[in-house]
Amino acid sequence: MTTTPAAVPRAAVPLPSPLRIALARAAVETKVLFRERDAVVFTFALPIVFLVLFASIFSDSAEGTGVTVAQLYTAGLIGSGVMGTGFQNLGIGIAGDREDGTLKRLVGLPMPRAAYFIGKIASVLVMTVLQVAILLAIAVLFYGLELPAEVSTWATFAWVFVLGVSAASVLGIAVSGLPRSGKSATAVISLPFVVLQFVSGVFIPITQLPDWLVNAASIFPLKWMCQGFRSVFLGDAGAALELTGSYELGKVALVLAAWLVGGLVLCVTTFRWKGRRDG
């Protein structure tokens, strides 16, 4: 190769800023995510298929409150979508990165390690925003969903969404170390997610569950995320459908924040950059 000798220009130019590298990671992660076409199609299709199914199966409004099935399931499926992309897809994706040598290669680069996580979470954010937009569009166009008009309601949506995506993503990062290999990741990570969807008010209204199941589900973030989204899409009329007659937004914020912090601690203490076979 006939380029300038390696040693000469060294110290003169500073390394690119961590922010610049984080942005580059975000761009690459998002690009790669959308290139896996089958994964993209199914990620976007899943909540839509559920919405169509549930709206067809349960067509009447709930218990005379004027709350429609579309409202109920839109809220639940947004929660489920956030959890699916943040927790499930991200967890499986990172387990794959660990298996195929991506993490090992990245560790060998002059990359601030946080840039990897920022890139992952940014890609989750982009994916989830699109997913929600498509779901809302279909609910509005085909199932007569009325979007809230007040700015304050959208502000609630924004903080529940951001807190939810963040908590789900750090949990996804934390859970990625659980499967023994990239191959088993899908099975290992999907089970808790599927179970949570059944007990957190995504598929089945939480009022129809036995107490002990509600108590168990209340430990986990999905129940609270869905509750937060119901406050947005069902409005005051729907509060009567909640177990406590209120959306308990303060508690929603508290539980999601607690999971975010707990997840971060788990990530910092347990994250492995090496595969198990790398010793």
C-beta of 173: minimal distance to other proteins in Å?
18
C-beta of 101: minimal distance to other proteins in Å?
4
C-beta of 16: minimal distance to other proteins in Å?
6
Q: Which of 81, 97, 185, 229 binds other proteins (CB under 8 A)?
A: 97
Strand, helix or coil for residue 178: coil
- What is the rounded CA–CA span in Å between residue 163 and residue 128? 13
C-beta of 90: minimal distance to other proteins in Å?
16
277 binds other proteins (CB under 8 A): yes
- What is the rounded CA–CA span in Å between residue 175 and residue 95? 9
Residue span binding other proteins (CB under 8 A) among the ranges 87-95, 108-116, 167-175, 256-264: 108-116
Q: Which is nearer to other proteins, 22 or 132 (CB)?
A: 22
User: Would you say how long the chain is, in residues?
Assistant: 279
141 binds other proteins (CB under 8 A): no
What is the size of the binding site for other proteins (CB under 8 A)?
38
Calculate the dihedral angle through the C-alpha atoms of 8, 13, 19, 21, rounding to the nearest 10 degrees. Answer: -20
Structural tokens at position 253: 């914020």
Q: Which of residues 15-44 bind other proteins (CB under 8 A)?
A: 15-16, 20-21, 24, 28, 31-32, 35-36
- What is the rounded CA–CA span in Å between residue 90 and residue 55? 29
- What is the rounded CA–CA span in Å between residue 69 and residue 222? 19
Q: Partners of 152 in the beta sheet?
A: none
Helix axes 151-175, 185-199, angle to 10 degrees: 140
Q: Which of 1, 141, 149, 151 binds other proteins (CB under 8 A)?
A: 1
List Cβ neighbours of 175 (8 Å cut-off, separation of 6 or more): 87, 91, 189, 192
C-beta of 102: minimal distance to other proteins in Å?
4
C-beta of 154: minimal distance to other proteins in Å?
35
Q: Which is nearer to other proteins, 37 or 244 (CB)?
A: 37
Helices (H) and strands (E) in the chain, counts: 12, 0
Q: Which of 38, 64, 108, 141 binds other proteins (CB under 8 A)?
A: 108
Residue 105: other Cβ atoms inside 10 A: 11
Q: Which of 41, 53, 66, 105 binds other proteins (CB under 8 A)?
A: 105
Radius of gyration of the chain (CA): 21
Q: Which of 111, 118, 125, 168 binds other proteins (CB under 8 A)?
A: 111
257 binds other proteins (CB under 8 A): no
Torsion sign, CA atoms 52, 57, 59, 60: negative
Binding site for other proteins (CB under 8 A): 1-7, 9-10, 12-16, 20-21, 24, 28, 31-32, 35-36, 97, 100-102, 104-105, 107-112, 274, 277-279
